Structure 1
Amino acid sequence: MALVGTMLVAAPADATGGGQGLKPVVSGLNGPRGVATHGAKVVYSLGDGSVYEAWAYGTNKGIKKLGTLPGGFAPAIDTDRWGTTYALTGAGGEPGQPLPPGGATLFKLRPGKAPVAIADIGKYQLKDPDPFNLEGPATESNPFGVAALRDGTILVADAAGNDLLRVWPNGRIKTVARLKPRVVKAPPEFGGQLAPAEAVATSVTVGSDGYYYVGELRGFPGTAGTSQVWRIKPGSVGAVCDPVKPAKGNCQRYADGYTSIVDLAGGPRGTIAVVEFAKATWLAAEDPTAPPPIGSLFLQYPGKHHKAGVKKELAKGKLVLPSGAAINQYGDVFVSSPLFGPGAVYRIK
């Protein structure tokens, strides 16, 4: 399932507001999405494909442009422990159409230099079809989530390929895991029947335990409360994330009951930030005549036996179409909102 290209709504200016505990770090942004941190800095991407770095503790001060990516949509980003930022472009355009130049590609950003393409994700997926595909071509690609590993390799979650990839600096790619569809009950407006729905792997992060965590959006009919977070053993190749057998193999279900996950961020002591695009599912963003929907940001705490424990919602009711999150070494949580229209990157106290 291709994700981007269908959600084209606009949020009004200052849609998120300030709110207690929600402090703008960088404001006046058009379509903020990706968020990453390095030391006292925050890195973010915008709707025109540009990526910036700013000091996280001073509004609109010390901002540096790292580069601009093609594709016409804000790229996913992550910054490694050495301060190098990686940016990932999606498919762009309409689902099923040829990829635009520079689409579905992983780039390395270096200040003052042009972005360097590391790996063509779309080309790789042409030879790595999704064996569990339900919608569109099985070789479709729409990379949507990225996470840098400590060994210099990069993880990529593909929302159309429904899989997790690992990319080496020389461009070599391996498929870490594949996410199988899940049978869900369709909302009443779509008949209320049981139906299989694709996983739509939108997000990936690395937990403090070193494991890989992948979040799902949930394909059509986008039933609320059916998005899962998977925990994948480091170094895995060809693992299968199966909702029918969620406790088997190298990919096991970590958390359930989320809605339309679009980003994850690993934090200290096993915490993970989970971003829900819209509480009422991503379909709520499809109606251009309706107000932009409210999304959610949760801090998920670990439980027992490698499963999720309690979770706490942050900035409840204050985030319109949130799209990216990060947790820095000090435990501060950052979030971008809204994905479309004027917005900001916020720090949550």
Structure 2
Amino acid sequence: MSESRARAGRDVVASLVAGLAVAAITASTAAAQELKVVTGGLANPRGMSFGPGGHLYVAESGRGGSGRCVSGPEGGEVCVGATGAITRVDVSNGRQRRIVARLPSLAVQEGADRGANATGPNDVSFNGRTAYFTIGLGAAPAARAEFGRAGRRLGTLHRRNSGGKVVRVADLANYEARRNPDAGQPGAALDSNPYSVDASIAGRVLVTDAGGNDLLQVGRRGRIRTLSVFPTRQTPAPPFLNLPPGAEIPYQAVPTGVVRAGARTTYVGQLTGFPFPAGTAQLFRVRGGGDPTVKARGFTTIVDVAVGRRGTVYVLQISANGLAADPSPGKLIRISRNGRQTELAAGRLQQPTGLAVAPNGDVYVANRGGSATRGQIVRIRAR
């Protein structure tokens, strides 16, 4: 339940392994990394994963549409449409095929930002040949009613079987409304935005709710339970708030990317909420459940995490300098087992929003993730 400015998804793009030492380590730069565009023309690409056939599967948040409109958090009206999708990409030639289409999407429909920074499908993960995907919300659960019938699938987890049938698995926004796992934290309010998903263990699907500040587990029959709640912290108040000198304000955790690193170890990235203080995002570790511990710190606006070969961890930042600063490139950091951090493709990522590691170790990033028409997937070769 983060305050409205602390949501991952719409608000974020509008502005949004054993042996690792718990330490802030200055990242060195691998300047010569090759970056190749694999495919383009995607509508607000978000999380992604490798699945059947060795293909890459991408959640596209869509570009909104001509359905009901409500006042948006950044001004203007946000309108609903069936433009979200789960898209298969053949990384050998860039060909695309939407395996699930007509998913709900929210976006502004006027001006130069028409369709940009949408809220919709946020991530996709496979268990065998079954795909699980989240659909975001970025608001109080009750707000879904404002979009009528088209809004019912917002804030949920769905699955698609190998035959193409799509069913709802769990209503995560409703769980937020009923259980409110982070109640009592400063600045908390009812807010749900199902974000990242890891379905690698059957019957134990993991989902981060970036609005609810929690890590949830969904069972075979859709039963939801809270594994971990991420804490609110304090930061010096930014000058533009005109608070007394030395004043501090709370900021929400806003958990984003989630990935398993073994049967009982899970890593979760942290975006951080308003005022998005630079250098305060953390890579959390959750063992089974309970309070998270810090695996590594010193990051800024983490949107996704992944585990590669030999225990390597990858951390993706949507912005190098933070969402409250002037626009800056994104940042991809590789963390080796000994804790050494190396930046890949330095300065070449534009609003990156998703991350996946191929079986051969190549890294794929959803780039230009806030664009309604120019989203792309780029590849960084393994070394």
| Range into which the TM-score falls when normalised by the shorter chain | 0.7 to 0.9
Give the equivalent residue in structure 2 for 1:133.
185
CA–CA distance in 2 between the matches of 1:81 and 1:87? 11
Deviation track 1:66-91 (CA, whole Å, cap 9, x = no partner) reads 11322333422233241322110111
Asked whether the 8 Å contact 2:300–2:322 carries over to 1, the reply is: yes
Q: Does 2:312 match 1:271?
A: yes
Give the equivalent residue in structure 2 for 1:301.
336
Q: 3-state DSSP class of the match of 1:6?
A: helix
Give the equivalent residue in structure 2 for 1:37.
50
CA–CA distance in 2 between the matches of 1:74 and 1:124? 19
The residue type equivalent to 2:376 in the other structure is A
Q: Does 2:98 match 1:65?
A: yes
Q: 3-state DSSP class of the match of 1:127?
A: helix
Alpha-carbon offset, residue 8 of structure 1:
6.3
CA–CA distance in 2 between the matches of 1:300 and 1:200? 22
Deviation track 1:234-284 (CA, whole Å, cap 9, x = no partner) reads 3x2xx12xxxxxxxxxx3110100001111112222212111111121234
The residue type equivalent to 1:257 in the other structure is G
Alpha-carbon offset, residue 221 of structure 1:
1.4
Give the equivalent residue in structure 2 for 1:346.
378
Give the equivalent residue in structure 1 for 2:204.
153
CA–CA distance in 2 between the matches of 1:325 and 1:127? 32
Q: How many residues align?
A: 314
Distance 1:232 1:10, change over 3 A: closer
Distance 1:132 1:81, change over 3 A: same
Give the equivalent residue in structure 2 for 1:88.
134
Give the equivalent residue in structure 2 for 1:332.
362
Alpha-carbon offset, residue 33 of structure 1:
1.4
Instruction: Tell which deviates more after alignment, 215-224 or 37-46.
Output: 37-46
CA–CA distance in 1 between the matches of 2:304 and 2:89? 21
Runs (5+) with no aligned partner, structure 2: 17-31, 63-83, 107-118, 145-150
Q: Map residues 42-61 of structure 1 onto 2, 5 A cutoff.
A: 42-48=56-62, 49-60=84-95
Q: Map residues 301-320 of structure 1 onto 2, 5 A cutoff.
A: 301-303=336-338, 309-320=339-350
Give the equivalent residue in structure 1 for 2:25.
none
Asked whether the 8 Å contact 2:369–2:376 carries over to 1, the reply is: no
Give the equivalent residue in structure 2 for 1:173.
224
CA–CA distance in 2 between the matches of 1:227 and 1:52? 30
Alpha-carbon offset, residue 312 of structure 1:
1.2
> Residue 158 of structure 2: which of 78, 88, 107 is its match?
107
Instruction: Quote the sequence identity (%).
Output: 32
The residue type equivalent to 1:300 in the other structure is I
> Residue 25 of structure 1: which of 35, 38, 41 is its match?
38
Give the equivalent residue in structure 2 for 1:212.
266
Q: 3-state DSSP class of the match of 1:98?
A: helix
Asked whether the 8 Å contact 1:264–1:275 carries over to 2, the reply is: yes
Deviation track 1:209-231 (CA, whole Å, cap 9, x = no partner) reads 75111111111111000001111
Alpha-carbon offset, residue 141 of structure 1:
1.3
Alpha-carbon offset, residue 6 of structure 1:
2.9
Asked whether the 8 Å contact 1:53–1:66 carries over to 2, the reply is: yes
Instruction: Tell which deviates more after alignment, 122-131 or 31-40.
Output: 31-40
Alpha-carbon offset, residue 132 of structure 1:
4.2
Give the equivalent residue in structure 2 for 1:244.
none
Q: 3-state DSSP class of the match of 1:204?
A: strand
Give the equivalent residue in structure 1 for 2:276.
222
The residue type equivalent to 1:224 in the other structure is A
CA–CA distance in 2 between the matches of 1:253 and 1:269? 21
CA–CA distance in 2 between the matches of 1:344 and 1:219? 26
Give the equivalent residue in structure 1 for 2:11.
6
Runs of 4+ in structure 1 deviating by more than 4 angstroms, as ranges, are 7-11, 94-97, 187-192
CA–CA distance in 1 between the matches of 2:14 and 2:143? 23
Give the equivalent residue in structure 2 for 1:243.
none
CA–CA distance in 2 between the matches of 1:265 and 1:121? 23
Which structure shows the bigger proportion of residues in helix conformation? 2
Q: 3-state DSSP class of the match of 2:228?
A: strand
- How does the TM-score come out when normalised to structure 1? 0.82
